[in-house]
């Protein structure tokens, strides 16, 4: 314990301990949506850093575009409704819209003024029509006539040809025409829908680009040949456009007999939901964009006029096409925890104590190896697992299928409502059911977000249980990109709790009192409030009081108020919050003792780790849950304690202390809601220290390049 206290006390060096706060005004929380946009601004900053490889910088631009798509698809529809109201709600929406416009403008500025020139200096260029020479234009025209033109069917608008239904996030053109159509009418507006099957980036052949790598965008190819689509008429003006729609599936579970069937039907309609955002070219005329706003029934706040492609997400194709190793992150080969005890089996190893895997610095394949052993072992009788996000191609699902084939009892709790993974999860559920696995969908009205795997094995006359719990998903692809903690255990109390929870999710019978697990929506929120209060009480009594919590988002007002109260009692609180945070740090008289930082680096920070010290009592929990209202009351979530002193110290060192000392990838939240990047060089040091992620890669990597 002494070492734990010393490490966390050391993390405060260089900061001043604020005096105990006196009576103060009510704290005004930060706006969640603006905080989300601020997070994306921090991600976008990675695209400006010279030390980040060039293709990775472009990838960060694409990531921000993808994040913004999801923001509008999920978060913006209520804001549109508020614009019809007067007062605070509409003003808040306009502030969110302004912040989004500023972020998009910055994004295109970086793309046009920073990245494209650097690519050009490296001999890589995306040519506009005006930049192509005659030979290149001939090649592009040939490509258009051969591969693009046969798939385009322009629609000229008139009473019998109304404005077509445009799919979510699809590429389209609006064209204004002069002259008459084949029937002598002067209908001037036409719409051209560009199929998704066409690649958005096309590379010119080597003979068209000697010594360089040249590309053209599909939008520029169509743009250059719009006149070919309207023979006998003159194209007066045009613009590409893209509409984003509200896609959050809303199924009234109490009114359906089969949730899977209802969700599959909803997926068919997702592409054509309520329009929430319109993107057009910067040169689009007032006449055309106002016409489009009317068609989609959108206010001016939803219009984004962009200097470049309307869908930067699809530029990830350029990253894949170029694929130049010198312009990408150096390959990283994570170590395997399994190698440390092989050829001993997982079951024998876990009898000696719990096992912790820090992903992606250690490989997720250790978890797969555990499941492979369980599937191959004749003594294993049953496997139970939750499925939230596994991806469309999953070795884990193949292993579960093999377990069924070998005659083991397999039960899978599939969360059908995992946003944007609904279709993949429905397909997995149907496949597993078809071969005899028991498939359940959790509890009506709640998302099952807990990540757990339970293996039951016959050992002599007894049945022994082994469990895997995780802060992240069972997805091998994202496990290489997200920081998470996997926890393997044979602790009798913990694995029995896991078994009770699986039984509860399937049968929906009353859950017995759990001994070690904290579960939402029943007790997790109250347990976190109690632990925070204990830290505050210890501080008020003059005892050591320390709280460090790492999570993705902090938006639950009850937990925020509890943190503020503990800080006002004198507790020292550090929060490592990657994304949205509604708690303003360092507000005089209110949150003087609370510091908030965000880490943005090569990997997406995803682990949830909570440390509490109240006098001589200390505890550390891992969790699947962020401190958000939806996680505490609208989902099945888990938190579990780490009792092993060595593992607890390791998690403190790697997940908390290292991130509190990070001076490379860290941002500090200010009282006004803005973030400032932490200075990269501390006083008295000759050179900057590596960030937490880089240090962990150096510790665990099997290659030296990283």
Active site positions, annotated: 449
Q: 3-state class of 79 per DSSP?
A: helix
Q: 3-state class of 285 per DSSP?
A: coil
**365 touches 339 (CB < 8 A):** no
Q: How far apart are CA 182 and CA 97, in angstroms?
A: 43
Helices (H), 508-625: 524-540, 557-568
> Residue written as tokens 């925070």?
532
> What is the DSSP code (8-state) at residue 521?
T
> What is the DSSP code (8-state) at residue 588?
T
Q: How far apart are CA 422 and CA 389, in angstroms?
A: 9
Q: Among 434, 112, 62, 404, which residue's Cα sits nearest to residue 282?
A: 112
**612 touches 543 (CB < 8 A):** no
Q: 3-state class of 92 per DSSP?
A: helix
Q: List all residues 6 or more positions away from 91 whose beta carbon is below 8 Å from its beta carbon.
A: none
Q: 3-state class of 370 per DSSP?
A: helix
Q: How far apart are CA 312 and CA 470, in angstroms?
A: 33
Q: 3-state class of 616 per DSSP?
A: coil
List the structure tokens of 78.
């209520």
Q: How far apart are CA 329 and CA 54, in angstroms?
A: 9
CA dihedral sign of residues 304, 308, 309, 312: negative
Helices (H), 204-356: 218-224, 259-269, 286-296, 316-322, 346-352
Number of C-beta neighbours around residue 296 at 10 A: 19
Q: How far apart are CA 407 and CA 447, in angstroms?
A: 29
| Cis ω before 217 (30° cut-off from 0) | no
Q: How far apart are CA 453 and CA 460, in angstroms?
A: 23
**274 touches 342 (CB < 8 A):** no
Categorise residue 182: left if φ over 0, alpha if ψ from -120 to 50, beta otherwise: alpha
> Residue written as tokens 């301990």?
17
Burial class (CB in 10 A: 0-12, 13-18, 19+), 267: middle
């Amino acid at each position: 314990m002494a070492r734990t206290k010393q490490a966390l006390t050391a993390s405060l060096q260089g900061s001043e301990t604020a005096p105990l706060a006196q009576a103060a005004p009510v704290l005004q929380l930060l706006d969640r949506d603006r905080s989300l946009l601020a997070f994306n601004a921090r991600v976008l900053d990675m695209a400006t850093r010279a030390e980040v490889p060039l293709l990775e910088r472009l990838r960060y631009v694409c990531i921000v575009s993808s994040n913004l798509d999801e923001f509008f698809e999920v978060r913006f529809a209520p804001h549109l409704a508020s614009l019809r109201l007067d007062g605070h709600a509409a003003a808040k929406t306009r502030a969110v819209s302004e912040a989004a416009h500023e972020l998009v403008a910055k994004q295109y500025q970086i793309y046009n003024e920073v990245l494209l020139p650097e690519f050009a200096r490296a001999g890589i260029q995306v040519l506009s029509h005006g930049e192509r020479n005659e030979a290149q234009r001939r090649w592009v025209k040939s490509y258009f006539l051969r591969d693009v033109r046969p798939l385009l069917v322009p629609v000229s608008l008139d009473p019998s040809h109304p404005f077509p239904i445009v799919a979510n996030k699809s590429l389209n053109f609006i064209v204004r025409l002069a002259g008459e159509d084949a029937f002598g009418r002067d209908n001037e507006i036409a719409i051209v829908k560009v199929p998704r099957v066409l690649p958005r980036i096309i590379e010119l052949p080597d003979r068209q680009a000697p010594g360089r790598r040249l590309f053209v965008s599909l939008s520029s190819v169509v743009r250059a040949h719009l006149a070919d689509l309207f023979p006998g008429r003159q194209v007066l003006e045009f613009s590409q456009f893209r509409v984003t729609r509200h896609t959050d599936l809303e199924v009234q579970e109490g009114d359906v007999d089969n949730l899977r069937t209802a969700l599959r039907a909803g997926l068919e309609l997702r592409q054509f939901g309520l329009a929430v955002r319109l993107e057009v070219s910067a040169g689009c005329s007032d006449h055309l964009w106002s016409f489009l706003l009317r068609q989609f029934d959108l206010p001016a706040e939803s219009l984004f006029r962009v200097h470049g492609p309307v869908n930067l997400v699809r530029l990830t194709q350029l990253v894949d096409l170029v694929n130049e190793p010198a312009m990408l992150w150096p390959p990283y080969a994570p170590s395997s925890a399994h190698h440390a005890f092989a050829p001993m089996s997982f079951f024998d190893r876990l009898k000696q104590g719990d096992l912790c895997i820090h992903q992606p610095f250690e490989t997720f394949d250790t978890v797969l190896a555990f499941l492979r052993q369980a599937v191959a072992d004749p003594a294993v009788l049953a496997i139970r697992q939750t499925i939230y996000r596994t991806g469309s191609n999953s070795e884990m699902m193949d292993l579960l299928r093999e377990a069924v084939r070998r005659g083991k009892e397999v039960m899978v709790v599939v969360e059908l409502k995992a946003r944007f993974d609904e279709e993949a999860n429905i397909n997995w559920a149907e496949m597993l059911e078809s071969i005899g696995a028991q498939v359940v969908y959790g509890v009506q009205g709640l998302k099952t977000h807990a990540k757990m795997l339970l293996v039951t094995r016959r050992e002599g006359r007894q049945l022994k249980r082994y469990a895997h719990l995780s802060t992240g998903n069972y997805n091998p692809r994202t496990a290489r990109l997200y920081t998470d903690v996997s926890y393997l255990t044979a602790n009798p109390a913990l694995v029995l709790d896991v078994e009770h929870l699986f039984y509860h999710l399937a049968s929906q019978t009353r859950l017995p009192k759990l001994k070690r697990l904290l579960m939402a929506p029943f007790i997790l929120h109250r347990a976190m409030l109690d632990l925070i209060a204990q830290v505050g009480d210890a501080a008020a009594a003059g005892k050591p009081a320390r709280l460090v919590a790492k999570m993705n988002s902090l938006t639950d007002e009850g937990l925020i108020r509890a943190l503020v109260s503990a800080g006002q009692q004198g507790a020292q609180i550090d929060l490592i919050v990657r994304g949205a945070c509604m708690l303003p740090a360092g507000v005089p008289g209110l949150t003087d003792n609370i510091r908030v930082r965000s880490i943005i680096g090569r990997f997406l920070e995803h682990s949830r780790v909570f440390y509490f010290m109240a006098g001589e009592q200390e505890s550390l929990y891992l969790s699947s849950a962020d401190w958000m209202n939806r996680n505490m009351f609208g989902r099945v979530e888990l938190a579990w304690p780490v009792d092993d002193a060595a593992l607890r110290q390791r998690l403190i060192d790697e997940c908390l202390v290292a991130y509190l000392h990070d001076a490379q990838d860290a941002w500090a939240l200010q009282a006004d809601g803005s973030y400032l990047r932490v200075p990269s060089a501390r006083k008295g040091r000759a050179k900057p220290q590596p960030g937490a992620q880089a240090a962990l890669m150096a510790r665990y990597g099997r290659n030296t390049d990283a």
